[in-house]
């Protein structure tokens, strides 16, 4: 499978135990490590259980993070989540979208300053991403 599409959304349910969240984070780290090692890895996208999709194309993910697509197919708002810092995880994720994290931050800042949009919610750690996505309807 190429990095042009994603066939798996990992559903995060806040009622599931912390072990599932830890295992999910470990899995994401393993995927990133394979990518960093030069092995063609896949990017896993997590979404709140309320998201009405079982798969999503990378182009659609790109539209979400470029704030071009703001609602899911059922009309519910999309709530994108990202990490605040420019770390390896961010580089891998945005690299899969054909973007650079700093490029995205500049883009979001421009939208914010011109009143054209709100950037994705930024959190400090991968665990915080999982926690926020699991507790926020429409989050990805």
Q: Phi and psi for 106 in degrees, rounded to 5?
A: -65, -40
Query: Does residue 69 belong to any structural domain of this protein?
Result: yes
Whether 102 is in a domain gets the answer yes
Q: Is residue 140 part of a domain?
A: no
| Of 84, 81, 14, 23, the residue nearest 49 (C-alpha) | 14
Domain membership of residue 49 (yes or no) is yes
Name the residue range of residue 96's domain: 5-135
Looking at residue 20, what is its pLDDT? 64
> For residue range 52-88, what is the model confidence (pLDDT) as tens digits?
988 888 899 999 999 999 999 999 999 999 998 878 8
Q: Could you tell me which of 23, 25, 15, 86 has the C-alpha nearest to residue 48?
A: 15
d(CA 79, CA 118): 10
Over the stretch 78-128, which tens digit does the pLDDT of each residue have? Answer: 999 999 887 888 888 899 889 999 999 999 999 999 999 999 999 999 999
How many domains does one find in the chain? 1
Residue 88 resides in a domain? yes
Threshold 0.85, pTM exceeds: no
Q: In terms of C-beta density within 10 A (0-12 exposed, 13-18 middle, 19 or more buried), how is residue 61 classed? A: buried
């Amino acid at each position: 499978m190429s990095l042009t599409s994603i066939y798996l959304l990992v559903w995060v349910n806040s009622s599931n135990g912390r072990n599932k969240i830890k295992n999910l984070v470990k899995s994401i780290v393993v995927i990133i490590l394979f990518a960093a090692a030069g092995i063609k890895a896949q990017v896993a996208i997590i979404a709140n259980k309320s998201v009405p999709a079982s798969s999503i194309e990378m182009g659609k993910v790109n539209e979400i993070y470029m704030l071009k697509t703001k609602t899911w197919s059922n009309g519910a708002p999309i709530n994108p989540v990202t990490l605040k810092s420019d770390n390896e995880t961010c580089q891998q994720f945005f690299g899969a979208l054909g973007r650079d994290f700093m490029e995205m931050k500049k883009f979001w800042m421009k939208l914010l300053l011109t009143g054209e949009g709100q950037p994705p919610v930024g959190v400090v750690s991968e665990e915080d991403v999982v926690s926020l996505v699991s507790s926020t309807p429409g989050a990805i």
